[in-house]
Amino acid sequence: MVATPNAAEANALLAGAAPELAAEPQAEAGHEGRRHRHGLVARGVLGNLLVRSRPSGPHIGSIYVKTSTRQKQVALDVKLTNVPRSADVRITAVALDEKGGEERRFEMNLPVRPAETQIVQPSWSWPSPRLWDIGEPNLYTLVLKVEGAGLDDEMAQVFSFREFWVDGRKLYLNGKELRWRPVMGFPCARAAAEEVDGTIDAFMQAGFNFQEIWPNSNTARGMPDDYLTWYERADRKGWPINGVLSEIQPYAATWSDPETREQFRAVAAAQIKRYRNHPSIIVWSTSPNFSRGDEYPRVIGNRSKAWNKLGARTEARFPKLQEAIAILCPLDATRPFISHYSGPVGDIYTLNLYLEFIPL
């Protein structure tokens, strides 16, 4: 909304939802070109309606906290909005512990320019933070203040200090090799905090150390977003999970159109921006079961040997999915990107092969 409510009076906001019945072509896995009748997946207003206000003048638009155990550094991507003139701004970042006590304070001056939006990137050394790890949910709140060049604004962002990366065939969390014992855990529990907590506790007690949330698309109109509850609870449990991004399936039929690819990128970019500060999300996932993968033991994990071995399906879908992941990677350089049951496509080889505890 553009209009500014009158602060001296009570203001009411009416939110409604109505179906759209026009049929438009969409694509599904294995059914490109099918026509679907658009409409609401559910009825009414789903979940909470949050009303937020931000200044219309110069202000902080968003904060992305990027931490590195290898570099012992905390870095920020700070989006500034409506900066009116060129000058240096004073950036003060205070890291508060779970009880609100100040643990570290950082300061820096950086130049800005007049622009509707811009990103400034301060960074500081942090030799010995409390790390977020499995079963160790150390959380911080960063209070960021920016002053100068017409700016005088403050924003708070919850974050944790941790780093996950892939090196060849090995996975690392905070510098220690993480031998994944993954489990599928959604939608066996509903997005209620108590039920999610109980599911995570049970998985941890059973010896699992990573959960794949089944990546159903939540971008269709009227689809409730249950993933946020999982991210928030997993943050507080020290429980690594995947972050779910938009699927390629609805875009596959017209994938060669640059406008289609930009729509795919824009939807995923908004999702990453919303969820990127959750430490529990150590990988992003997209497009489950779109391309599939070869389960022959001699090719598992070998990208060159497993590429396009399943005939026409993989020959057509592998390149599309690889291009989709290439579009996603620049949106977050701090996490790998995977696709459920897509073999060699993505940063980690994935299969629908559930060996459980069978000895090999």
Between the CA atoms of 236, 240, 246 and 250, what dihedral angle is there, to the nearest 10 degrees?
Answer: -130
What is the C-alpha to C-alpha distance for residues 198 and 208, in angstroms, rounded to an integer? Answer: 14
pLDDT above 80 (res 309): no
Last residue of a domain, one of 159, 191, 224: 159
Q: Do 329 and 190 reside in the same domain of the chain? A: yes
| CA–CA distance, 350 with 327 (Å, rounded to integer) | 19
pLDDT of 216 strictly over 80: no
Q: State how far the Cα of 125 lies from the Cα of 147, in Å rounded to an integer.
A: 22
pLDDT tens track for 162-178: 999 999 989 999 999 99
Walk across the sheet containing 176-177 and list its strands: 164-167, 170-173, 176-177
Residue 307 inside a domain? The answer is: yes
Is 322 found in the same domain as 261? yes
- The pLDDT assigned to 296 comes to 80
Same domain, 175 and 321: yes
Q: Are residues 209 and 73 in the same domain?
A: no
Q: Name residue 146's amino acid.
A: V
Of the three residues 132, 159, 186, the one that is the final residue of a domain is: 159
Do 77 and 215 reside in the same domain of the chain?
A: no
Looking at the DSSP bridge assignments, the partners of residue 244 are 285
145 & 174 share domain: no
* Residue 40 confidence (pLDDT): 55
Give pLDDT, residue 22.
Answer: 45
Least confident of 53-57, 219-223, 293-297, 318-322: 219-223
- Predicted pLDDT of residue 26: 45
Residues 321 and 199 in one domain: yes
Across 101-128, b (16+ Cβ under 10 Å) vs e yields eeebebeeeeebeeeeeeebebebebee
For residue 30, the model assigns a pLDDT of 38
Strands 102-112, 35-37: pairing is unpaired
Return the pLDDT at 10: 72
Q: What pLDDT shows up at residue 25?
A: 44
Q: pLDDT-based confidence at 21, cuts 50/70/90?
A: very low
pLDDT of residue 48: 60
Task: Give me the amino acid identity at 242.
Answer: N
Residue 45 pLDDT: 59
Which is more confident, 38 or 103?
A: 103
Is residue 125 domain-shared with residue 271, that is, in the same domain? no
Specify whether the CB–CB gap between 174 and 133 falls below 8 A: yes
Residue 191 and residue 314 share a domain:
yes
The percent of residues above 70 in pLDDT, for the chain, comes to 81
User: Is 30 among the domain residues?
Assistant: no
Q: Which of 15-24, 47-56, 89-98, 349-358 has the highest mean pLDDT?
A: 89-98
What pLDDT is attached to residue 23?
A: 43
Whether the pLDDT of residue 190 is over 50: the answer is yes
- Tokens 């200044």, residue located: 55
Judge whether 48 lies within some domain. no
Mean pLDDT (whole number) for 175-185: 92
Entry pTM: 0.86
In the chain, % of residues over pLDDT 90: 62
CA distance 93 to 96: 10
Q: Bigger pLDDT: 360 or 345? A: 345
- Residue 155 main-chain phi, psi, to 5 deg: -145, 145
- How would residue 65 be classed by pLDDT, with cut points 50, 70 and 90? very high
Whether 206 and 323 map to the same domain: the answer is yes
What's the 3-state SS for the chain? CCCCCCCCCCCCCCCCCCCCCCEEECCCCCCCCCEEECCCCCCCCCCCCCCCCCCCCCEEEEEEEEEECCCCEEEEEEEEEEECCCEEEEEEEEEECCCCCEEEEEEEEEEECCEEEEEECCEEECCCCCECECCECCCEEEEEEEEECCEEEEEEEEECECCEEEECCEEEECCEECCCCEEECCCCCCCCHHHHHHHHHHHHHHCCCEEECCCCCCCCCCCCCCHHHHHHHHHHHCCCEEEECCCCHHHHHHCCCHHHHHHHHHHHHHHHHHHCCCCCEEEEECCCCCCCCCCCCCCCCCHHHHCCCCCHHHHHHHHHHHHHHHHHHHHCCCCCEECCCCECCCCCCECCCCCCCCCC
Q: Which of 100, 125, 159 is the last residue of a domain?
A: 159
* pLDDT, tens digit, 9 for 90 and up, residues 238-289: 999 999 999 999 999 999 999 999 999 999 999 999 999 999 999 999 998 8
Better-scored residue on pLDDT, 98 or 33: 98
**176 shares a domain with 83:** no
CA nearest to 291, candidates 260, 267, 312: 312
> Do 281 and 200 sit in the same domain of this protein?
yes
Q: Does residue 93 fall inside a structural domain?
A: yes
Residue 282: inside a domain: yes
- Assign residue 195 the CATH number of its domain: 3.20.20.80
- The range of the structural domain enclosing residue 274 comes to 170-338
Total domains present in the chain: 2
**β-pair type (151-159, 140-148):** antiparallel
Q: Is the pLDDT of residue 14 over 60?
A: yes
20 within some domain: no
CATH of the domain at 72: 2.60.40.10
